[in-house]
Amino acid sequence: MALLFIWQPTTLWAAPSLASLQREIDQLRTVAAEKFEAANEATLKIKKLENETRNLRNKGSVAREKLDEVNKVLATIAVNSYKNLGLGQGLELLFSANPTQYLSDASSLKIVEARYARQSREFAVLKQRVAASVTLLEDRTAKLTAEKVILNREVAAAKLALATANKKLKALSKRDRERLLRAESLREKKILDNSKKYASSFKGDNSRGSIALRYALKQIGDIYVWGAAGPTRWDCSGLTMRAYQAAGVSLPHFSGAQIRYGKPVSYERLKPGDLLFYGIPNSHVSMYMGGGKMVQAPRPGKRVEVISVTRMFGSKPFVGARRI
């Protein structure tokens, strides 16, 4: 009886410890997924600003070239004026293939000179505006780059915490560790089996939403990987992006951007293919399947699955649905 008395508290203590550790790992994986989506947002914004900056630089280069061309024409006018040559009106002088030859046929120096002096001032102003815009965009890009560095640090911290939790798992006795892993494996197998059953039952039609949903359902069992968008690895917005790409719609790779596409749909009027968004700020997206189910790539350590739709995804509230 003494041995039994000593052994029982150990057993009672071990079970809560395993459950607590499992909750810690799950929570850390969820936090990591949120940070991953935030990093996706920063990447999109930086790419957009870099493209805008590049376009403005190109415009600035064209403006400078045009300004140089106008200045050369003005210099030619000044030389010809000094030589007292007869000049024509030359209203299209700036666009002439041979400005000097055009000037030799011109008849009104004052009109030409006034016109291109004004052109020169306008292009000078344009160049200043472009330079100011480029400076502004470069400043914003630098700020976003700094934000991305911070986000990457947070992601790294989440990964480190997750690794620490997994290290604790490995530090458990072999028996406890195997028991926890076995329970998790059985739980995931049940989810996967049910997901495949739900997927096989979906018929749908030829609508955009059904086409996207069929694509997403084909990915059931694929592993979650941050930043992945197929063909066998996905994060939440990568899955929905590719699903709608298969239906002929281009979406960005970020749930916070996808929520701005399509039209809003109430929770009570959901149809297959509608996108469901969770979190404030938005950090998760899934796809409604019908029958109160949704398909998603949930978080690190999980696979693409079909689960019941709820108004809360973990600690994240439902914030809206969109019909693409």
Return the biggest CA–CA distance within the chain: 124
Q: What one-letter code names the amino acid at 130?
A: V
Domains of the chain: 16-171 (1.10.287), 195-323 (3.90.1720.10)
Q: Which residue has the tokens 């059953």?
A: 197
Q: Say if residues 106 and 89 touch (Cβ distance below 8 Å).
A: yes
The token pair that represents 258 in the structure block: 């996808």
- pTM for this prediction: 0.68
Q: How many residues does the chain have?
A: 324
Q: Which amino acid is at 180?
A: L
Asked if 99 and 93 touch (Cβ cutoff 8 Å), the reply is: yes
Tens place of pLDDT per residue across the chain (324 aa):
343 433 344 433 344 567 787 788 888 888 888 888 888 888 888 888 888 888 877 877 777 777 777 677 667 766 665 554 444 444 445 445 555 555 555 555 566 667 777 877 877 787 787 788 788 888 888 888 888 888 888 888 888 877 887 787 788 888 888 888 888 889 899 999 999 999 999 988 999 999 999 999 999 999 999 889 999 999 999 999 999 999 999 999 999 999 999 999 999 999 999 999 999 989 999 999 999 999 999 988 899 999 999 999 888 999 999 999
Give the up-direction half-sphere exposure of residue 146: CA atoms within 13 A in the CB hemisphere: 6
pLDDT single digits (tens) 163-222 = 887 787 788 888 888 888 888 889 899 999 999 999 999 988 999 999 999 999 999 999
The residue whose two tokens read 């400078």 is 64
Cα separation, 54 vs 41, in Å, equals 20
**201: which DSSP letter?**
H
